[in-house]
Amino acid sequence: MSASFRAVRLGACWARAIAIGAFALSAAGAHALDKPTGRVILTIEGAISQTNNGPLAQFDMKMLEKLPQHSFSTQTPWYPDPVTFTGPLLRDVLAAVGAKGSKITAVALNDYKTEIPVEDATRHDVIVAHLMNNRPMPVREKGPLFIIYPFDTKAELRSELYYNRAAWQLNALRIR
């Protein structure tokens, strides 16, 4: 075996070891969930591996804003004109807490509850909106958080099933 071949082979082995190590660190949750410094607006509990308050994962608005932000405009049954919503993807919020379940119970401030399959977060670009038409949403306008589906992207989403899974005035997610 030539010296140059051994060097290439050794380099490939090191690269693979580094990649495996990086994956193991990210899979193990190498980055702990920060503690909220502002008012808690979202609490996640249940089958999660990343917590910041006992068995809970709590987020303030700044923590949600640090996640990658996405926007879309969609027609909804609640507004006469299309509305633009902005916030992190639900799947990114679930990943941040290491969610391991298959069902989500979304709970609103008024105790409204709706069941959402985790699969929805992977199949559709569902967002946890904190902005509506580029403005924060006060409670009286369905805020401060609103789980919203991109209803205009697929015909199947324009149905009572998915409209009922949208949750405004969201304040908790229970993963199981």
**How confident is the prediction along the chain (176 residues), in pLDDT tens digits per residue?**
444 433 434 344 433 333 333 333 334 344 589 999 999 999 999 999 999 999 999 999 999 999 999 999 999 999 999 999 999 999 999 999 999 999 999 999 999 999 999 999 999 999 999 999 999 999 999 999 999 999 999 999 999 999 999 999 999 999 99
For residue 48, which of 33, 30, 34, 26 has the smallest C-alpha distance? 33
Query: Domains of the chain (ranges plus CATH)?
Result: 1-30 (no CATH), 33-175 (3.90.420.10)
Give the burial class of 84: count Cβ atoms within 10 A of its Cβ; 0-12 exposed, 13-18 middle, 19 or more buried: middle
Q: Specify whether the backbone of 14 is left (phi greater than 0), alpha (psi in -120 to 50) or beta.
A: alpha
138 half-sphere exposure, CB direction, 13 A CA radius: 1
pTM of the model: 0.82
